[in-house]
């Protein structure tokens, strides 16, 4: 794995940072970290694996896990499990589908999940953070108010989306409450090491490796992995399955988590994104990793 890291590190730095979030636009483009851990807790970190970054959309997996554990299968009445096709027609699709987002990982779907949590929890922000800290045995994990504020100020499209969902009757609370929670969710910061350790329960049939806490059921864990496989990378989900062959989820902060069920979790961070919004070097690293180890699920 070290040689793959060195190879990919040496590749020319390509792509763009997520310019629409001012705070993300200033991250050093050369940052590159990797952390892998097996479910029996053998692990390896390389490069900037101990530097915090904004996990952004990767947090949608965690909010989904929490909502799924709270309300069970009925969550699928309000959000689908299908890939969304091209980004460009998502609003059209939402209207055609009567306000049911195609899956919980596109922004519209994650807002519906956030709305479920706002309804189900007394103190959504605090309780979500408690869950994340509990799974990972890591009480230092936290939101970044700078990042959240930065997104709130320019997040016109997300504000539009949430009001549109409300007009289609798939948001129960006020759009402002849901958006406030949603922007906070996406602002969580952690290192590759922390991210891998946090998400390792998805390689372990839903049970925390750190403290045996069963976060979600075995079936729920398989289903979340299946969803990450088909929907985890926006309109590059097929490409990721095709090239990497593992369930995973990316964020516009340049992070990616990938899961090999019953074996390991691996996270990668490199801030420069390809045109589909996924980490360029992150994709490259994971492709080489599964190709050279012959360890994809397919």
> What amino acid positions are annotated as catalytic residues?
57, 60, 182, 234, 252
Residue 14 or 242 with smaller CB distance to its own copies:
242
Query: Does 156 contact its own copies by CB under 8 A?
Result: yes
Query: Does 176 contact its own copies by CB under 8 A?
Result: no
- Distance of alpha carbon 264 from alpha carbon 231, whole angstroms: 20
Query: Does 88 contact its own copies by CB under 8 A?
Result: yes
Adjacent-strand bridge partners of 256: 250, 268
Residue 46 or 148 with smaller CB distance to its own copies:
148
Question: Please, what is the minimum distance in Å from the beta carbon of residue 52 to its own copies?
Answer: 28
* Maximal C-alpha separation, the chain: 52
Residue in the structure block whose two tokens are 């900037």? 48
The answer to whether 68 touches 75, Cβ cutoff 8 Å, is yes
Residue 70 host element (H or E): helix 59-71
Question: Please, what is the minimum distance in Å from the beta carbon of residue 238 to its own copies?
Answer: 4
Q: Which stretch binds its own copies (CB under 8 A): 56-64, 127-135, 208-216, 221-229?
A: 221-229
What order do you get walking across the sheet with 33-38 strand by strand? 43-47, 33-38, 264-269, 255-260, 248-250
Q: Whose CA is closest to 95, among 157, 158, 160, 167?
A: 167
The answer to whether 63 touches 211, Cβ cutoff 8 Å, is no
Question: Please, what is the minimum distance in Å from the beta carbon of residue 51 to its own copies?
Answer: 31
Residue 50 or 96 with smaller CB distance to its own copies:
96
Question: Please, what is the minimum distance in Å from the beta carbon of residue 133 to its own copies?
Answer: 26
**Window 222-261: contact mask with its own copies (x via CB under 8 A):** xx-xxx-xxx---xxxxx-xx--x-x-------------x
Residue 66 host element (H or E): helix 59-71
- Distance of alpha carbon 264 from alpha carbon 186, whole angstroms: 24
Query: Does 163 contact its own copies by CB under 8 A?
Result: yes
Residue 139 or 238 with smaller CB distance to its own copies:
238
For strands 264-269 and 255-260, give the pairing.
antiparallel
- Contact positions vs its own copies (CB under 8 A): 80-86, 88-89, 91-93, 95-97, 102-103, 156-157, 159-164, 166-167, 175, 218-219, 221-223, 225-227, 229-231, 235-239, 241-242, 245, 247, 261, 291, 294, 296-298
């Amino acid at each position: 794995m070290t040689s793959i890291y060195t190879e990919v590190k040496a590749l020319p730095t390509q792509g763009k940072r997520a310019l629409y979030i001012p705070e993300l636009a200033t991250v050093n483009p050369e940052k590159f970290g990797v952390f892998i851990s097996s479910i029996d807790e053998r692990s390896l970190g390389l490069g900037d694996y101990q530097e915090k970054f904004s996990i952004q959309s990767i947090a949608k997996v965690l909010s989904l896990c929490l909502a799924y554990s709270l309300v069970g299968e009925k969550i699928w009445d309000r959000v689908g499990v299908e890939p969304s096709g091209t980004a460009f027609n998502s609003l059209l699709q939402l209207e055609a589908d009567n306000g049911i987002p195609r899956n919980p990982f596109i922004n519209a779907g994650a807002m519906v999940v956030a709305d479920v949590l706002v309804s189900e929890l007394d103190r959504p922000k605090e309780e979500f953070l408690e869950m994340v800290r509990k799974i990972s045995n890591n009480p230092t994990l936290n939101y970044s108010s700078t990042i959240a504020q930065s997104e709130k100020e320019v997040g016109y499209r997300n504000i539009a989306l949430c009001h549109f969902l409300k007009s289609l009757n798939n948001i129960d609370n006020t759009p402002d409450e849901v958006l406030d929670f949603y922007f906070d969710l996406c602002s969580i910061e952690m290192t590759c090491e922390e991210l891998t350790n946090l998400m390792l329960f998805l390689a372990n049939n839903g049970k925390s490796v750190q403290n045996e806490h069963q976060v979600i059921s075995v079936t729920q864990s398989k289903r979340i992995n299946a969803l990450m496989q088909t929907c985890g990378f926006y309109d590059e989900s097929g490409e990721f399955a095709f090239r990497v062959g593992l369930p995973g989820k990316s964020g516009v902060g340049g992070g990616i988590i990938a899961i090999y069920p019953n074996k390991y979790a691996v996270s990668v961070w490199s801030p420069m994104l390809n045109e589909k919004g996924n980490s360029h070097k992150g994709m490259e690293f994971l492709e080489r990793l599964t190709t050279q180890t012959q360890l994809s699920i397919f």
